[in-house]
Structures are given as C-alpha cells and as structure tokens.
Amino acid sequence: ELKKLPTLPQFLVADIEISQSCIPKPIDQVAREVGLLPDEVELYGQTKAKVHLSALKRLKNQPDGKYVVVTGITPTPLGEGKSTTTVGLVQALGAHLHQNVFACVRQPSQGPTFGIKGGAAGGGYCQITPMEEFNLHLTGDIHAITAANNLVAAAVDARIFHELTQTDQALYNRLVPSVSGVRKFSDIQIRRLQKLGINKTDPMALTKEEVNLFVRLDIDPGTITWQRVLDTNDRFLRKITIGQSPTEKGFSRMAQFDITVSSEIMAVLALSDGLDDMKKRLGRMVVASSKRGEPVTTDDLGVTGALAVLMRDAVKPNLMQTLEGTPVFVHAGPFANIAHGNSSVLADKIALKLVGKEGFVVTEAGFGADIGMEKFFNIKCRYSGLRPHVVVLVATVRALKMHGGGPAVTAGVPLPKEYMEENLQLLARGCSNLNKQIQNARMFGVPVVVAVNAFKTDTKAELALVVQMAKEAGAFDAVECTHWAEGGKGAVALAQAVQRASQAPSNFRFLYNVELPVIDKIRLIAQQIYGASDIELLPEAQEKVTLYTKQGFGNLPICMAKTHLSLSHDPEQKGAPAGFILPIRDIRASVGAGFLYPLVGTMSTMPGLPTRPCFYDIDLDPVSGEVNGLF
C-alpha cells in the first residue's frame, strides 16, 4: 500500500524515496498471509523475519509450485535489470494476477553498497522494501559468515604455529588435557581418530606414532586455500603479510582477504538442504593439503561444531516483501565470480511448498545465462533435486546494441548517443547474444520467456524488433515490460507469458554427468554454453586436475569462474563469439559447498573503494532515524 507517491517524473525519483514512500505491511502479517505458523517465524523488528526450517518439515507432503528462474543476456557493466524484473514479475503475479507467489533473491554484499555499485534491492517501483534493511545488515547472515570464515582462518594459522613450536607430547597434553585427573577425547577428536584409522577412545592407549598422527595436521603453508574475509571493499587487503608480530616468532606468510560473499561458507549456506547437511558441508571444507598431500579439513581443525553454532540462525531464510506487498525470501548471496551466484536452496524449497501446486516461485540466477543459469541448473538444481519450469531471460535494447558493436558502456560515464537514439542495425546485429543465450536455456530442456526490460529511450520499433528476434530464436514468448516505471502493472504481460510457459512441456536435463573426468566437464561447458572450440589447461590447472582427482574430488560439479561481460573469457568479445580456445588458468576446490571452480583468467575477490565512494551521499537523519542517499 503506497502512501502519497512522489509526483516527479519517475526517473528523477531516487529509489530510496520510492521505498520510503511506501508503508510495508507488518512482517508478521505477511507471514500469516503466506501460511506460516507463528511458531515458524522469528520477527526481526517490523519488516524482517526469519523462517524456521520446521516449516519445510510440516509441509513436506504439500506439492511444489512452479519454479521460475530469472536470468539475463550478457549484460553491460550497468546491469540489465534482473533483480528489478524478478520483483516486477512477482508483483504482477501476486498483486495483479492474484496468484500465490514468492520471490527468492540473494542478500547483497555491503561492500558495493558503500563502494561503487550501490544496493541491489531492485529499482524504481520494483523494489524489496525497506531497501535500507535489505542492503545493510539484514538479519546478520553475512556477518555470521565473516565470523565463521575467520574463525577457520585463525584456527589454521594458530594450529600451524602451535605445531611448529611444540613437541608431540606437549601438543597432546594440551589437545587432550587432564581435567580433574581424567583425559577424554571430544567428539570431534574421535572423528579425527577414525579418519586416521585409529579405533581407540582411551587417550592413554595411543602409541607414540598414533599421537604423532593425531596431533600433527602438518599443514603445508604453501597449499593454504582458505582466506580471511571482510564485507568491506578494502583493496589494501588483497595481498598482505601476516604473522609479523614478535609473538609469532617469525612464522609470517603471504595471505589475503576476500569479500565475505566469496567465502566458501556462503556457498555452503546457499546449497545446504538443512541443518544436518549444512553441518556436514561445514566439516568437510578443505583448507589446505598436508605435507603428505592429503586434504586438511575444517573437521581436522576441530572447528565444525563452532561453525555450525555460528551459522545456526543464518540457515533460516529471511522473509521480506516487495513495494506491492508480495512476499520475498532474501537468503544467501554467493559471489557469482567464483561461486554459483544463486540464492539458497532452502528458501526456494520452503517457498515452493508455501505457494502450493498452482503458485509460482521466482528465483534469480546471478549474471548472464551462460554463468548464473548454467550454474543454477548444473549445480543448484543438482543438489536441490528441484526441477525448473520456466526460464525468464532479461534483455535490454542497450545491452543488445552493445553486442551489435556499439561503443563501450562504462559506469559513471554518460551513455554514447547510439544508446539514446534508435539504431535498428546495431540492435539486430546484437541479437546474436540473445539468440545464443536462448539456445543455452533450451539446451536444458526448459521453455524460455524473454523479458524485454524497456528504458525510456527505447523506441517502439526497437522493442518490437527484440520481441520478434527472440521468438525467431525459439523463445516460448517474448514480452516488453515497463515494471521499473509502473511496478507490477508493467509486468502483467510477462507474468501471463510465464503462466502459459509453465504449462508447456518442460524436459529438464543436466548438461553433464558428474562422473565424467574433470576436463571433459569443463570442455562441455566451454563448447556447449560459451561457444568455445576447445579449452586449454595451463600447468597449474593441469596439476590441480591430477591432485583433486587423486584426493577424490574429481566427481564434483564444475563452477566456472569467468567474466560475465562476454560469453567468452575476454570481456571485450561481445555478441556471440565462437571458435575461441578457453584458457583455464587454475582450478580450486570448494569441497564443502561441493564444486570445483576453474579460473578462466584472473578473478578479483576483493573490490576497492573509488576516489568518491557511495558513502559520500549516505546519511542518517538523527531526528527521524531515516536513511538517505542509499541507491
């Protein structure tokens, strides 16, 4: 319900003014409306709530609703409105077509909110509200990940230090101390003994050799893959030397901080199926190799239980709403550059039960369809067992012109005139990208609806051309949308197309079998989805294939770490490049989350602050407590 809306032309109204002009329903009312019981909801103030996993158990015999994934063509650096379209679509389905519907979206990192990009609540009249809650701490899930991630990092270095400075016996006396004359292994130590093949439970019964095996993780510092994280854009932490205080006795080493959303724990949160599954994944995360080449896990460090405790609340999806009062789950936000970039399995599952058989769950997959959607299908759907009914592919005239050879689009720089005036030739040429992304979606056997996200500078002829070319490329339907300016009303035609598509035959299939060799899986994605003629493994990548296959991780799905600005590895290659060789620089493993991630080029995992960060405009009114200047 909207109170007096700003009357300025809509594109001159800041997102936060629109958001603050709308009075959200009390969130306990939203919870009641979607069929949650009071016991299943933990309120966090008036506008946010956490939903207990017990809801999933209660509803387990309820049939699932229709599962719709929103993705996009290869975007410009400005973004083409995936989040806005996700919100617009659920507003249309819910507030205008009166269907049960849920949006499931990612929690944004706070780094870009204060850095360059701003928030991620959607925009215009399609926003998750209150956007300042959505964009800032929310209910603390990302903070919990920071705490959990950094506890592991501190444990790794402290353990190496203690092993370097103590004898086996001293370590053993401390790890299994005598308390009132009794020595006892903790549960997690029993698990380590079992892993080592030592079937003893009496601490006094271990041989010297067994004590040695037990107390020494023997981490090879050169193999540590676990990094510290912060949810802050802090470029000076990209490469650091740690351990330079005299108290660390000279055991310094090079390390780095990444942005929190790139933590494996974020990927674990997004892919977990429940508390038990999350705890297991948290325990099998690999932090390094031992000097003998064996993987060292978080469970070996003794930290699994503490991680689960730190993540106990984070595992519950967060309920919010759109500007039009449609329910939204905001849950998990894995970094799409190196993880799978999709919101949580648990939020989707609970939402699918809550909307019921005829309802719709609209979930968003990060970046372009070649990355976000591919990972949604091959990783997220593989782990969740959920089967999607419809792909919504967001396209804009602006991005398609760029793909047709238009000048570079750069954030903070005025758009060149090609983007402000009609240019059907550039547009038609650029539809090669749209065509390829439609084929990519169809490869998985799911019908595609193209949402043409209209800007005020787009002409009728341009919009009609995109619709026509999308249909010719095999889209189930293609629809012009004006939800940014009009709210859900502007996406009613899109919603109707999605309704029709959800009745169409869907024949979902994965692109590859996980049992294939690592190289074959990578090649399949590169050739089928990106259009590469082949892949080339650089020596480091080749070594990792051997290592991970030997360590037993060869049958994990593949999570490509590739630029989203091109179907290829080169962000300059627009349209639908073909015939290129995709270089694989290195491969990393997120064993707890459950994937290998080949690095195609260099990925930055820590953004920086520009000369004039967003924070210059952000302010708090000390009287009203209102936030200004977020966008």
Q: Is 279 a catalytic residue?
A: no
214, 329, 360, 367: the catalytic one is: 367
Q: Is 367 a catalytic residue?
A: yes
Q: Rule CB under 8 A: choose which of 2, 5, 154, 504 binds a copy of itself.
A: 154
- Write out the binding residues for a copy of itself, residues 208-267 only, by CB under 8 A: 228, 230-245, 247-248, 254-256
Alpha-carbon distance of 523 to 552, in angstroms, equals 20
Asked about 546 being catalytic, the answer comes back as no
Would you say 177 or 405 has its CB closer to a copy of itself?
Answer: 177
Greatest C-alpha distance within the chain: 85
Chain positions 372 to 391 lying near a copy of itself, rule: CB under 8 A, are: none
Which of 69, 89, 92, 175 touches a copy of itself (CB under 8 A)? 175
Single out the residue of 15, 64, 157, 370 in contact with a copy of itself (rule: CB under 8 A). 157
Nearer to a copy of itself among residue 13 and residue 275 (C-beta): 275
- How many residues at the interface with a copy of itself, by CB under 8 A? 92
Residue choice 56, 93, 101, 171 for contact with a copy of itself (CB under 8 A): 171
Nearer to a copy of itself, 583 or 613 (CB): 613
Instruction: Pick one of 174, 183, 417, 509: the residue that binds a copy of itself (CB under 8 A).
Output: 174
Query: Is 544 one of the annotated active-site residues of the chain?
Result: no
Q: What is the chain's alpha carbon radius of gyration, rounded to the nearest angstrom?
A: 25
571 touches a copy of itself by CB under 8 A? no
CB 480 within 8 A of CB 455: no
Catalytic residue among 84, 129, 146, 304: 84
**Closest to a copy of itself by CB, 186 or 207:** 186
Q: Please select the residue that binds a copy of itself; options are 186, 457, 513, 533, rule is CB under 8 A.
A: 186
Q: Where are the beta strands (DSSP E) in 383-503?
A: 390-395, 448-453, 477-481
Beta strands in 246-373 (DSSP E): 253-255, 257-259, 286-289, 295-297, 318-322, 327-330, 360-368
Query: Is the CA virtual torsion 51, 54, 59, 60 positive or negative?
Result: positive
| Structural contact between residues 196 and 212, judged by C-beta atoms closer than 8 angstroms | no
623 interacts with a copy of itself by CB under 8 A: yes
Give the active site residue among 455, 476, 553, 580: 455
Does 195 sit near a copy of itself (CB under 8 A)?
no
Quick one: tokens of 80? Answer: 């083409």
- Whole-number Å distance between alpha carbons of 385 and 349: 10
Distance from CA of residue 378 to its chain's centroid? Answer: 14
AA identity, residue 316 = K
Q: Is 274 near a copy of itself (CB under 8 A)?
A: yes
- Report the residue from 23, 196, 309, 504 that binds a copy of itself according to the rule CB under 8 A: 309
Of the candidates 329, 360, 444, 484, the residue annotated as catalytic is: 484
User: What are the structure tokens assigned to 63, written together?
Assistant: 């049939």
Is residue 310 part of the contact set for a copy of itself (CB under 8 A)?
yes
| Positive or negative: CA dihedral 334, 339, 345, 346 | negative
Residues 568 and 532 sit within 8 Å (Cβ to Cβ): yes
- Stretch in the footprint of a copy of itself (CB under 8 A) among 288-296, 364-372, 485-493, 617-625: 617-625
| Residue 35 CB partners (closer than 8 Å, separation 6+) | 354
Does the active-site annotation cover 106? Answer: yes
The reply to whether 25 sits near a copy of itself by the rule CB under 8 A is no
What stretch of H or E contains 266?
Answer: helix 264-271
* Residue 238 tokens, joined: 């990209």
How do beta strands 595-599 and 619-620 pair? unpaired
Minimum distance from CB of 174 to a copy of itself (Å)?
4
For residue 104, what are the β-bridge partners? 329, 363
Q: Which of residues 100-119 bind a copy of itself (CB under 8 A)?
A: 110, 114
Work out whether strand 360-368 and strand 66-72 pair parallel, antiparallel, or are unpaired. parallel
Q: Pick the catalytic residue from 48, 66, 117, 349.
A: 117
For helices 208-215 and 168-175, give the axis angle rounded to 10 degrees: 70
Q: Which of residues 536-555 bind a copy of itself (CB under 8 A)?
A: none
Taking CB under 8 A as the binding criterion, the range among 82-90, 447-455, 585-593, 613-621 that sits at the site for a copy of itself is: 613-621
Q: What is the DSSP letter of 106?
A: P
Question: Known catalytic residue: 457?
Answer: no
Active-site amino acid positions: 82, 84, 106, 117, 336, 367, 455, 484
